[in-house]
Structure 1
Amino acid sequence: MYVADSRAGTPGAPDAPASAQGAARLRSGRRRAAVAPTVLALGTVSLITDVSSEMVTAVLPLYLVTGLGLSPLGFGLLDGVYNGFSALVRLAGGHLADRGGGRHKAVAGLGYALSALCKPLLLVAHSLTPIGVILAADRTGKGLRTAPRDALISLSSTPATRGRAFGVHRAMDTAGALLGPLVAFWILRVTVDGYDAVFTVSFCVAAVAVLVLVLFVPGGAPARASHAGDGPGPDTGAPHPDEGTHAQTGGSGPDPAPRPTLRAALALLRHRDLRRITVCALLLSLATVSDSFVYLLLQRRLGVPDRWFALLPLGTAAAFLLLAVPLGRLADRIGRWRIFLAGHGALLLAYALLLTSWHGTALPYAVLLLHGGFYAATDGVLMAAASDGVPAHLRSSGLAVVQTGQAVARFACSLAFGAAWTVWGDRTALTASTVALALCAACTLILRPTTKGTAPA
């Protein structure tokens, strides 16, 4: 179990232990590389929030396509809004969190609260336009909270353990994603008006998550955790970006960091590695089919009854939960970008399996295992890789730049896939996405970052 090591954050530790006993303590501390309490608290908030969100996500495709009779193109539009609208506010959320210096928790809390308030509104929306507006507001909340939350995780961790910290958070987050569909499935089975009951319970659970955030997540941006004698992590090797721009004058403390601005955040893209990370993430997201479409494709291939549809996300969530921490630790050891690209290789294999004529009972297990492995190897790992090139005073804004590129690309992919499914059919649409993903993956092999952890000047 991951617990915080209070001795890890002791400032002013000597670079070299004066005795063998000190060296032993240092090695032991490294073996017990801690996950900060802030990470665990945020993981709890994300776990509860994902129970709420995934209750809705698990039933939404079936509710819209079967219950309301939307076409694949209409569903693609709504799914694009659901997954991509947050791109419009992620930069704003990151900027607000950085600008206040200690507003990371406040901005994240605003985002969580806004998403919670949207859940009961689904009870009164029964057509494309109002549902689209509600989903846009829900994703606005997600856009506001994501970058400040990830910045808190990054700032609470050392460079050498960021992959693990994000892995632990994503594992806790995915535990909620695993429970959400189960709760939705149970509600649909025991209630008469199942969809309305799902939306109501989802709101109550989301409200609990906001309360946990307010009570248990520390306010303000934490100081960077430091371990005595720690050197650069596997993906570092240059001055740590958390240090900002320091100038020592006659032994005085460091000068304050420059005031965060949107221009300064966008100027981070002049740093070659961060620019390449952003471009690669955008390219790969352009060919990443939405989860909902993957589940609909599986249902059609296997003839899964409607009442069992809500259980399909469980396979993805279970694989994500099992693999997030091991792959995060592996990324810290062998390089984050290798794991990131390997995750997209797993996604390519999942698409290929969906395109084959194989209808065996193992097909859904294999596809969902690969699908969950894809998320475990990419979601937190990408944020850990991007954190290495962003100074602390712009951490939220810098991560928001990368996340915005991803969100815009996935919005476009949902629209394109929904249109292709409507015009040419699901098989042709998936074939085109598979080819596009292979081409984008080949491009990222050329454009991938070539140095490790170089902080922008």
Structure 2
Amino acid sequence: MRKQLSRTVIILSLVSLFTDIASEMLYPIMPIYLKSIGFSVLLIGILEGIAEATAGISKGYFGELSDRIEKRTPFIRLGYLLSALAKPALAISKWPFWIFIVRTTERLGKGIRTSARDALLSDESTPKTRGRVFGFHRSMDTLGAAIGPIITLSLISFFPGNYNFIFVLTAIPGFAAILLTFLIREKHNKKAVNTLNKPKFSFLTFFNYWKEASTNYKHIVIGLILFTLINSSDAFLLLKVKDSGYSDSFVVGLYIFYNFSYALLSYPMGYLSDKLSMKGTIIIGLIAFSLTYLGFSILTAKIHFVILFGIYAAYAASTEGVVKAWLSNNLPRGRTATGLGLYNSLQSISTLIASSLAGTIWLISDSKTVFMISAIGSVIAAGYIAIFTKTNVTYQANE
């Protein structure tokens, strides 16, 4: 593994580990906290919608900016810094406008860093190792997502209702992540093809990349966005478990089990995609997703939910990191962050639409309808990718 994972990849993965510990320390308590200070469900939805939209659009803008100035680390450091500062800042005031500012700032930090970080991971790999590099990073990131809630559950048992204390404690892993970013040594790639010497540049010019992108990149993105439009928030799966009559501790326990399983499987699935096929690995993941949602539409026993979350972890491990590796293999070196940023932005916007539609259908009909639509839609997306995309097209000879 050492030969395949550079020092920079390992440091970036540790940065993501600590950042996700901080982020997921807030996951179990944020809805409860917001309701306790007077936020309605509608206001919480508006807050999350604005925050996620900010992150989504900024991923594309800052991705293209990273390509234009041919640097990654300034965006990575600034993005992680904003997120690390924002989380403990929640303890300063309960004023709704302050909460909006802080939450949006935290998501903006994610938008600033994501595409530059993904591009740096691509720069630090080759077409033959890219799947496992992204898989390792995703594994460490998700491990943090499992550790964070465990810490919070422990703190709540000793300090019930003391949310501000938890907000302040997120500064510890958050600032550990920032310090680690200063150990990153970015290589200046003289072979990079700079196609960005254009005078015009605005907040949305990254969308223009679609015109010059390769056909295979476009088909991959279309297939993935079709899937994203039926892939609602994981919160709906947890809500289904809760509505089936199970305790809060079982629901949170399932979430932790899912993240640990996801972390454990991410590197092996990335390795498999390098050895066999990125396209095939992603299709397997989409089929696993379909099976999961089909199961959620008809099964309600406790053991069923455990098995289904295990399958869901296999889906996530087969897609999240592998998708970015596959896209990277279809992007020229001078446009890596722009292309990844365009996909990241489209994905974020589609996720917002998907969750809104799922919530509406849930209210109008029922949860079974939501899950059946997602199960069928996933098969359609898998079919599109199987028919219209090529397996492992290598745009960059980065070896």
Shared fold by TM > 0.5? yes
The reply to whether residue 188 of structure 1 matches residue 156 of structure 2 is yes
The reply to whether residue 279 of structure 1 matches residue 248 of structure 2 is no
Match of 1:366 among 307, 319, 327: 307
Match of 2:55 among 60, 79, 86: 86
Contact 1:85 1:411 in 2 (8 A): no
Task: Classify 1:364/1:85 alpha carbon distance in 2 versus 1 (closer, same or farther; 3 Å).
Answer: farther
Contact 2:63 2:338 in 1 (8 A): yes
One-letter amino acid of the counterpart of residue 52, structure 1: A
Unaligned runs of 5+ in 1: 6-33, 225-242, 246-256
Unaligned runs of 5+ in 2: none
Task: Classify 1:260/1:273 alpha carbon distance in 2 versus 1 (closer, same or farther; 3 Å).
Answer: farther
Please report how far the alpha carbon of residue 420 of structure 1 lies from its aligned counterpart in structure 2 after TM superposition.
2.5
The reply to whether residue 338 of structure 1 matches residue 280 of structure 2 is yes
One-letter amino acid of the counterpart of residue 6, structure 2: A
Give the Cα separation in 2 of the matches to 1:294 and 1:371: 10
Partner in structure 2 of residue 301 of structure 1: 244
One-letter amino acid of the counterpart of residue 321, structure 1: A
- Residue-by-residue CA offset, 1:49-108 (whole Å, 9 max, x unaligned): 01001111233345456885744x65554444454431110112112222222x301111
Please report how far the alpha carbon of residue 295 of structure 1 lies from its aligned counterpart in structure 2 after TM superposition.
1.6
SS in 2 for 1:193: coil
The reply to whether residue 113 of structure 1 matches residue 56 of structure 2 is no
Task: Classify 1:282/1:128 alpha carbon distance in 2 versus 1 (closer, same or farther; 3 Å).
Answer: farther
Structure 2 length normalisation: TM-score? 0.88
Give the Cα separation in 2 of the matches to 1:333 and 1:67: 51
The reply to whether residue 422 of structure 1 matches residue 338 of structure 2 is no
- Residue-by-residue CA offset, 1:121-172 (whole Å, 9 max, x unaligned): 3335658765444332221111111111111111011110011111111111
Please report how far the alpha carbon of residue 446 of structure 1 lies from its aligned counterpart in structure 2 after TM superposition.
3.3
Task: Classify 1:105/1:137 alpha carbon distance in 2 versus 1 (closer, same or farther; 3 Å).
Answer: same
Partner in structure 2 of residue 136 of structure 1: 104
Give the Cα separation in 1 of the matches to 2:197 and 2:371: 42
One-letter amino acid of the counterpart of residue 349, structure 1: L
- Residue-by-residue CA offset, 1:244-296 (whole Å, 9 max, x unaligned): 55xxxxxxxxxxx4446666871565310111111112111111121222222
Structure 1 length normalisation: TM-score? 0.78
Give the Cα separation in 2 of the matches to 1:341 and 1:67: 44
Partner in structure 1 of residue 292 of structure 2: 350
Worse-matched range after superposition: 294-303 or 401-410: 294-303
Contact 2:326 2:392 in 1 (8 A): no
Question: RMSD in angstroms over aligned alpha carbons?
Answer: 2.7
Task: Classify 1:127/1:170 alpha carbon distance in 2 versus 1 (closer, same or farther; 3 Å).
Answer: same
Contact 1:170 1:321 in 2 (8 A): yes
Partner in structure 2 of residue 217 of structure 1: 184
SS in 2 for 1:119: helix
Partner in structure 2 of residue 292 of structure 1: 235
Contact 1:68 1:127 in 2 (8 A): no
- Residue-by-residue CA offset, 1:397-424 (whole Å, 9 max, x unaligned): 1211111121111111122222233333
Task: Classify 1:427/1:61 alpha carbon distance in 2 versus 1 (closer, same or farther; 3 Å).
Answer: farther
Give the Cα separation in 2 of the matches to 1:85 and 1:172: 25
Q: Whose radius of gyration is greater, 1 or 2?
A: 1
The reply to whether residue 325 of structure 1 matches residue 267 of structure 2 is yes
User: What is the identity percentage for the equivalent residue pairs of Structure 1 and Structure 2?
Assistant: 26
The reply to whether residue 206 of structure 1 matches residue 174 of structure 2 is yes
Give the Cα separation in 1 of the matches to 2:170 and 2:356: 27
Aligned 1:21-170 pairs, distance under 5 A:
34-64=4-34, 70-71=40-41, 75-101=44-70, 103-123=71-91, 131-170=99-138
SS in 2 for 1:160: coil
State how many pairs are aligned.
391
Partner in structure 2 of residue 382 of structure 1: 323
Give the Cα separation in 2 of the matches to 1:423 and 1:323: 37
Give the Cα separation in 1 of the matches to 2:271 and 2:189: 22
Partner in structure 2 of residue 396 of structure 1: 337
One-letter amino acid of the counterpart of residue 301, structure 1: S
Give the Cα separation in 2 of the matches to 1:292 and 1:127: 26
SS in 2 for 1:362: helix
Task: Classify 1:166/1:268 alpha carbon distance in 2 versus 1 (closer, same or farther; 3 Å).
Answer: farther
Task: Classify 1:130/1:441 alpha carbon distance in 2 versus 1 (closer, same or farther; 3 Å).
Answer: farther
Give the Cα separation in 1 of the matches to 2:156 and 2:84: 21
Contact 1:86 1:140 in 2 (8 A): yes
Task: Classify 1:392/1:452 alpha carbon distance in 2 versus 1 (closer, same or farther; 3 Å).
Answer: closer
